[in-house]
């Protein structure tokens, strides 16, 4: 544990060394300023420096790099994810290969159980879930499909999140797994949410209890923050953490801006505030080796205030006599985590996106700048594609 804390201390000092390049009153010009050191910002910075040969300053208002994927060793020496459990999964070999330049991997398949009617059952709902909950003995996919069909409700046109679920799994499973969870997570009844919200977690007729089914599922073997540090470790890249865009010293100038923060913030909310759902994270270390059988246990019951508990050692494979867990509580206020998928918000975003198209000197990339929930691999893919377009434009401009 001490060795790990020393390593983290060393790491903090190295980042500080990069940050101490802060040119308080010294003028410094960069080809590109990248706002945000999460996946979008780090991939853009790495590609612009390594691929386009330009100088880059990356800033983040948080005191660390890695954005929401930030992980660190807590006081007990356990590697924890500060902003919620981040599990890497992708179907893209190219994206995995790109990130593999900066990290090795530990194979890991995520499993989630839900605490329902006093027992822990697989989530997403699968044949094991159905048999455990209803005392059945469904043995084949056909039997499970027939059961789900017998309880599914014909809602006619699927208009909202409740319709999506009850039309697949019926009222009882909807009430047990989705209604309370969705009301906690989004603060509204599932009837008021877009049908796409519940579509991400379908029911299965087999006994596959993996949360994700992607071809590649793994975790960075030394953690996400280490991977980001390697990505940003380039002579053409400076990093300033604890540095917001608004209070950047006037002595710093740039040719092109890459913006990975909230798009409405860039435009000073002139069309209104885009709504977000937030989370409060409660971390705790317990004096035992393990507290739950899988990394994440969901609590769909509305009367339980948290939505899920994650035990990090399952994700990282770390061995220790103690264990660290995190409870997640949905919140109205706080950091922006989930864009609210309702028509008014989408309409406001489209109007911001139109403003963004009129700003050729700014590139908007990442989940906050494109106002949509994306997984990490999708953001890496988005950033790589965005860089290719930008690089092609710069090459054309340099010819003219
Ligand atoms: P971020 O990581 O949010 O980075 C944006 C950065 O910009 C932030 O660090 C912010 O501080 C900075 N910033 C914003 N405004 C400013 C400003 N004005 N000045 C300076 N800096 C600024 N994806 C998966 O693939 N697997 C998972 O298991 C998974 N779990 C998740 C769990 C939770 C609870 C959440 C909320 C998301 C999860 N995700 C997961 C999604 C993942 O977090 C995102 O895909 C990823 O973080 C997107 O990277 P990004 O760079 O776009 O945004």
pLDDT, tens digit, 9 for 90 and up, residues 84-96: 999 999 999 999 9
> Mean pLDDT across the stretch 172-186?
94
Nearest CA to ligand 1 atom 21: 60
What pLDDT is attached to residue 200?
59
Report which ligand 1 atom has the smallest distance to the Cα of 246: 18
Q: Tell me if 252 sits within 8 A of 57, measured CB to CB.
A: yes
Does ipTM surpass 0.90 in this model?
A: yes
Q: Rounded to the nearest whole angstrom, what is the distance from the C-alpha of residue 67 to the centroid of ligand 1? A: 5
pLDDT-derived band at 6 (thresholds 50, 70, 90) equals: very low
SS3 57: strand
In this structure, the number of other CB atoms found within 10 A of the CB of residue 84 comes to 15
Q: Does 330 contact ligand 1 (Cβ within 6 A)? A: no
3-state helix, strand, coil in the chain (%, to 5): 35, 20, 40
> Mean pLDDT across the stretch 326-343?
93
Nearest CA to ligand 1 atom 6: 36
pLDDT surpasses 50 at 101 = yes
What pLDDT is attached to residue 12?
39
pLDDT surpasses 60 at 13 = no
Q: Pull the structure tokens for residue 194.
A: 């877009």
Q: Rounded to the nearest whole angstrom, what is the distance from the C-alpha of residue 126 to the centroid of ligand 1? A: 30
What pLDDT is attached to residue 16?
39
pLDDT surpasses 70 at 9 = no
Q: Does 45 contact ligand 1 (Cβ within 6 A)? A: no
Question: From start to end of 3-116, where are the E strands?
Answer: 28-35, 56-60, 71-73, 79-81, 88-90, 105-107, 112-116
What pLDDT is attached to residue 25?
56
Q: Does 57 contact ligand 1 (Cβ within 6 A)? A: no
Q: Does 67 contact ligand 1 (Cβ within 6 A)? A: yes
Q: Tell me if 203 sits within 8 A of 211, measured CB to CB.
A: no
Q: Pull the structure tokens for residue 327.
A: 């409870």
Q: Rounded to the nearest whole angstrom, what is the distance from the C-alpha of residue 203 to the centroid of ligand 1? A: 28
pLDDT in tens, 227-255: 999 999 999 999 999 999 999 999 999 99
Q: Rounded to the nearest whole angstrom, what is the distance from the C-alpha of residue 358 to the centroid of ligand 1? A: 25
> Mean pLDDT across the stretch 318-336?
97
What pLDDT is attached to residue 11?
40
Question: What's the CA angle centered on 387, arms 386 and 391, to 5 degrees?
Answer: 125
pLDDT in tens, 205-222: 999 999 999 999 999 999
pLDDT surpasses 90 at 14 = no
Q: Does 379 contact ligand 1 (Cβ within 6 A)? A: yes
Domain residue ranges of the chain, discontinuous segments joined by +: 2-106+221-273+338-399, 112-200
Q: Does 245 contact ligand 1 (Cβ within 6 A)? A: yes
- Do strands 216-220 and 88-90 pair parallel, antiparallel, or not at all (unpaired)? antiparallel
pLDDT surpasses 90 at 193 = no
pLDDT surpasses 80 at 288 = yes
What pLDDT is attached to residue 394?
97
Q: Does 260 contact ligand 1 (Cβ within 6 A)? A: yes
Report which ligand 1 atom has the smallest distance to the Cα of 377: 25
Residue 370 CA to residue 267 CA, distance in Å, equals 13
pLDDT-derived band at 15 (thresholds 50, 70, 90) equals: very low
Q: Does 61 contact ligand 1 (Cβ within 6 A)? A: yes
From 22, 45, 67, 262, mutation site for ligand 1 pocket: most ligand atoms within 8 A of C-beta: 67
Residue 28 CA to residue 323 CA, distance in Å, equals 46
Q: Rounded to the nearest whole angstrom, what is the distance from the C-alpha of residue 260 to the centroid of ligand 1? A: 9
Query: Which of 87, 113, 84 has its CA nearest to residue 282?
Result: 84
% of the chain exceeding 70 in pLDDT: 92
pLDDT surpasses 90 at 359 = yes
Report which ligand 1 atom has the smallest distance to the Cα of 368: 52
Q: Is 2-106+221-273+338-399 a domain of CATH 2.40.10.10?
A: no
pLDDT surpasses 80 at 64 = yes
| Cα–chain center distance at 9 | 26
Query: Which of 48, 23, 64, 15 has its CA nearest to residue 253?
Result: 23
Residue 149: C-alpha distances to residues 137, 152, 153, 197 (Å):
16, 5, 8, 21
User: Of the given ranges (10-19, 350-359, 376-385), which has the lowest mean pLDDT?
Assistant: 10-19
pLDDT surpasses 80 at 78 = yes
Question: Which has more confidence, 160 or 378?
Answer: 378
Report which ligand 1 atom has the smallest distance to the Cα of 366: 52
Q: Rounded to the nearest whole angstrom, what is the distance from the C-alpha of residue 60 to the centroid of ligand 1? A: 12
Report which ligand 1 atom has the smallest distance to the Cα of 41: 51
Q: What is the mean pLDDT of the chain?
A: 92
């Amino acid at each position: 544990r001490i060795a790990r804390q020393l390593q983290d201390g060393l790491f903090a000092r190295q980042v500080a060394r990069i940050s101490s390049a802060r040119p308080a009153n010294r003028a410094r010009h960069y080809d590109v300023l990248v706002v945000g050191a999460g996946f979008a910002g780090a991939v853009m910075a790495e590609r612009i420096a390594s691929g386009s040969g330009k100088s880059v300053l990356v800033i983040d208002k948080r005191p660390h790099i890695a954005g929401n994927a930030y992980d660190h060793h807590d006081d007990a020496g356990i590697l924890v994810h500060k902003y919620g459990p981040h599990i890497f999964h992708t179907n893209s070999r190219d994206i995995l290969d790109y990130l593999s330049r900066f990290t090795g991997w530990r194979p890991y398949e995520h499993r989630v159980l839900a605490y329902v009617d006093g027992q822990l059952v697989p989530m997403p709902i699968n044949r094991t879930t159905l048999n455990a909950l209803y005392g059945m003995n469904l043995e084949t996919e056909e039997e499970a499909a027939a059961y789900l069909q017998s309880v599914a409700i014909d809602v006619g046109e699927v208009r909202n999140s409740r319709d999506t679920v009850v039309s697949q799994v019926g009222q009882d499973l909807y009430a047990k797994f989705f209604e309370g969870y969705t009301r906690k997570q989004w603060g509204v009844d599932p009837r008021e949410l877009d049908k796409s919200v519940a579509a991400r977690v379908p029911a299965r007729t087999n006994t596959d209890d993996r949360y994700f089914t992607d071809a590649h599922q793994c975790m960075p073997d030394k953690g996400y923050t280490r991977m980001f540090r390697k990505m940003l470790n380039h002579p053409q890249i400076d990093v300033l953490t604890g540095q917001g865009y608004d209070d950047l010293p006037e002595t710093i100038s740039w040719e092109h801006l890459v913006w990975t923060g909230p798009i409405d913030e860039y435009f000073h909310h002139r069309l209104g505030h885009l709504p977000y759902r937030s989370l409060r994270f409660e971390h705790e270390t317990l004096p035992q080796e393990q507290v739950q059988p899988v990394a994440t246990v969901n609590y769909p019951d509305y009367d339980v205030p948290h939505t899920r508990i994650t035990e990090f050692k399952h994700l990282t494979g770390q061995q220790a006599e103690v264990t660290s867990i995190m409870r997640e509580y949905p919140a109205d206020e706080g950091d922006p985590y989930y864009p609210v998928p309702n028509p008014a918000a989408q309409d406001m975003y489209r109007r911001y996106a139109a403003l963004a198209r009129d700003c050729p000197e700014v590139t908007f990339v990442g989940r906050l700048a494109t106002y949509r929930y994306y997984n990490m691999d999708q953001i890496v893919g988005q950033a790589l594609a965005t860089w290719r377009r930008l690089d092609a434009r710069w090459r054309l401009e340099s010819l003219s």
